[in-house]
Amino acid sequence: MQYVSTRGSAPALDFEGVTLAGLASDGGLYLPAEWPRFSEAEIRDMRGLSYPDLAARVMAPFVAGSLTEEELLGLCHKVYGDFGHAAVTPLVQMDAQHWLLELFHGPTLAFKDVALQLLGALFELFLERRDQRLTIVGATSGDTGSAAIHAVAGGTRAEIFMLHPKGRVSEVQRRQMTTVRAPNVHNLAIEGSFDDAQAHVKRMFTDPEVTRVLDLGAVNSINWARLMAQVVYYFASALQLGAPDRSVAYSVPTGNFGDVFAGYVAAKMGLPVERLIVATNVNDILHRALSSGDYSAGGVTPTITPSMDIQVSSNFERLLFDAGGRDGAALADQMRSFEASKAMQLTNAQAEGAAALFTSARADQTETARAMQWAYRNAGQVIDPHTGVGLHAAQAMAAEGVVAPQVPLVTLATAHPAKFNDAVERAIGVRPALPSRVGDLFGREESYVELAGDYATTRDYVLSHAAASGEA
């Protein structure tokens, strides 16, 4: 399988290449040159497969040429074999129409584990093959950092430096990062905001003093391999609900548009996806773009769903490219003007292509809390606020008739409620407990360094502690 950039001028790469590259060299994002498609008979034949076997079946076309079937199958069993639930992503029924797809049974209790655990294993395999090392640097406001650390910890080829804004992540989130004790994991608490930490990371990628000695890598959601891994749970859930003989609708709490774009990929591959509901909080750039064509960035309002507090959605570019007719040169112009003015209008082709599958809805904090209360009182389910945003959108779209009553409507449950226990307690009066497999989180020893907020201090720390700099 070959991959092309959304901005049309970076070289096409194979799966190994795009996994290690992340962002394309022309600033675009990689997508498969064409969508692989399964027939109805092939989809029917997937019924009853275990999650790891299904994952290998669904991902096989994307990795062709870079991994053998045995290698892929081996990775899937290794990665998904030790999730906290034997079904990996179990479905829970809430009423006649509504279902929850629990994506939080990985080591850090959020859906990002499903993709990052695989990405970590892919890094090891490809780096070993190339006899290379990789130094991953990232900044996190919470969920991504811990999932990335757990994915890389203990590896011999990749090491990770994760920056978080000191005192500005929750204690559960901090401990999920700082209690991982592995020689290739470095936690840096930086004085300042998340944006300050993020600025340090961006600067390191273009700082010759760093790039001269280190091969830097990133793990953010623009990496194609992450999206690919997320396609699998759309297949797993739709198959259980009757696909390919019945179509299924999804409501997806959305930030960077990665998780919901994976649903679009599943539909392109032949899965009968009735509709994808893009659920946003009050940071609603995607809702405005999909409902009126106006893609314009505003400021970010902090909410009880911090993982969806975004200004721009990096993966949205993939939809604009694919739905708009795959004209890389035209999209490069459009994105350049967006980067300059922070606003753009979708073209007719982009708007119509998106409307064929996507609907959007937005939830404010009252609506989010009300959905959490409904889940608790009517279905006995304690859900996290991100999932609450998704459930509100699902219920609103069902009430408006956007999704017909006989179509199963699945809300993606993106985080375990214990991860956001303060917000859950405020909404429903119950404080969820951490699952027993991570229950000793508060008893484990932490390890992190605190650094002043200037760039040079961060850079010097990374350079002097990176195993890959070789001089230590």
Ligand X SMILES: *Cc1c(COP(=O)(O)O)cnc(C)c1O
Active site positions, annotated? 112
Please report how close the Cβ of residue 166 comes to ligand X at its closest, in angstroms.
21
Q: Does 255 bind ligand X (CB under 6 A)?
A: yes
User: Which phi and psi (to 5°) does residue 223 adopt?
Assistant: -70, 125
- Which residues, 6 or more positions from 186, have their beta carbon under 8 angstroms from its beta carbon? 159, 160, 161, 162, 449, 462, 465
Binding mask 196-235 for ligand X (x = CB under 6 A): -------------------------x--------------
Instruction: Decide whether 3 or 420 has the Cβ nearer to ligand X.
Output: 420
In the block, residue with structure tokens 């390191």: 204
List the one residue from 308, 331, 393, 394 that touches ligand X (CB under 6 A). Answer: 308
Q: Does 257 bind ligand X (CB under 6 A)?
A: yes
Please report how close the Cβ of residue 362 comes to ligand X at its closest, in angstroms.
14
Q: Does 274 bind ligand X (CB under 6 A)?
A: no
Residue 36 has a CB neighbour count (10 Å cut-off) of 16
Please report how close the Cβ of residue 114 comes to ligand X at its closest, in angstroms.
11
Q: Which stretch binds ligand X (CB under 6 A): 17-25, 248-256, 337-345, 374-382?
A: 248-256
- Which residues, 6 or more positions from 398, have their beta carbon under 8 angstroms from its beta carbon? 97, 98, 405, 409
Please report how close the Cβ of residue 39 comes to ligand X at its closest, in angstroms.
29
Please report how close the Cβ of residue 255 comes to ligand X at its closest, in angstroms.
3
List the one residue from 145, 155, 258, 353 that touches ligand X (CB under 6 A). Answer: 258
Contact between 253 and 226 under an 8 Å Cβ cutoff? The reply is no
List the one residue from 22, 145, 165, 253 that touches ligand X (CB under 6 A). Answer: 253
- Which residues, 6 or more positions from 229, have their beta carbon under 8 angstroms from its beta carbon? 55, 59, 114, 115, 118, 119
Amino acid identity, position 341: S
List the one residue from 89, 307, 359, 421 that touches ligand X (CB under 6 A). Answer: 307
Instruction: Decide whether 6 or 66 has the Cβ nearer to ligand X.
Output: 6
List the one residue from 135, 173, 223, 256 that touches ligand X (CB under 6 A). Answer: 256
Residues of this chain, 101-160, that bind ligand X according to CB under 6 A: 110, 112, 143
Name the DSSP letter for residue 432: P
Instruction: Decide whether 157 or 318 has the Cβ nearer to ligand X.
Output: 318
Q: Which stretch binds ligand X (CB under 6 A): 13-21, 256-264, 333-341, 401-409?
A: 256-264
Q: How many helices (H) and strands (E) does the chain have?
A: 19, 16
CA–CA dist 336, 342 (Å, integer): 10
C-alpha dihedral, 336 to 339 to 344 to 347, nearest 10° = 30
CA–CA dist 58, 106 (Å, integer): 20
Please report how close the Cβ of residue 355 comes to ligand X at its closest, in angstroms.
19
Residue 425 has a CB neighbour count (10 Å cut-off) of 13
Closest CA to 139 of 183, 200, 185, 181: 200
Residues of this chain, 363-402, that bind ligand X according to CB under 6 A: 386
* Residues found near ligand X in the complex (CB under 6 A): 110, 112, 143, 221, 253-259, 307-308, 386, 414-415
